[in-house]
Amino acid sequence: MIELVLATGNPHKVEELRAIFASLPDANWLRVIGLKDLPGHEKFHEPKETGTTFEQNASIKAVSYAAQTGRLCLADDSGLEIDALNKRPGVISSHYCTHGEETGLTREVRDQANNNRVLFELQGVPIMGRGARFVCVIALAEPHLPGEARLLARVRGEFEGRIGFPAHETDVPSLVVPRGSNGFGYDPLFLAGPEFVRTGAELSASEKNTVSHRANAARLLVPRLRALFTDGASLSGSGM
């Protein structure tokens, strides 16, 4: 059993990745824990995400927490890319309404403001031009020298869809958003491909764990992990 620390203090994110791995037929040898499962987690400091890509930010977090914890660490960076907006909001997806700045807004208020900005900026764009995707990059790092770590692997998963319309912009019911209560963030705006009938917030948890960007990234990660550990990569802090 390989134990991986997911670099997050959010227990829901840990449970989601556990559920994704549990749904994969070749991942039963992986065990995921969160930062809060480790003793002394109060002393960990969150690194600044200074990257301009999902790949850079995921790597920054994975390397930082592997060095701090002395354990194998996974970190992800995710967000929404919209073709008509030159792939914005991208790495500032969670704070798009404030141009990437943390201003103390609650998650609920911030999500609504982010959604409003996206819909405003897409005014006049026809449905075929509203292509979008959720992106998740997962990075794996291991402790190396004392207080240092190195990157071992990185994968990118995507979930293709389109952004729907506010009710006043279309008379096609299946394209009207926001819809659904199962998601958060941009899920109520995102018409999930390839059917483009239901939003991300209308998918059940089990469906999301099969088709989401995070699920697709995890699916790509498992064979990379198996190859690394079978080939004798360092397993310092693995929990084996």
Q: Specify the pairing of strand 73-82 against strand 2-6.
A: parallel
Distance of CA 109 to the CA centre of its chain: 20
Whether 77 is catalytic: yes
Classify strands 73-82 and 88-89 as parallel, antiparallel or unpaired: antiparallel
Range 37-72 burial, b when 16+ CB lie within 10 A, else e: eeeeeeebeebebeeeebbbbbbbbbbbbbbbbbbb
Q: Token pair of 102, please?
A: 């943390």
Catalytic annotation, pick one of 76, 77, 111, 187: 77
The two tokens of residue 40 are: 């002394």
Residue 220, amino acid: L
Burial of 143 (0-12, 13-18, 19+ CB in 10 A): buried
Instruction: Fill in the amino acid letter for 238.
Output: S
Taking the C-alpha atoms of 9, 13, 14 and 15 in order, what is their torsion angle to the nearest 10 degrees?
140
Alpha carbon distance 112, 127 (integer Å): 21
C-alpha distance from residue 104 to each of 108, 134, 201 (Å): 11, 24, 25
Catalytic site positions: 77
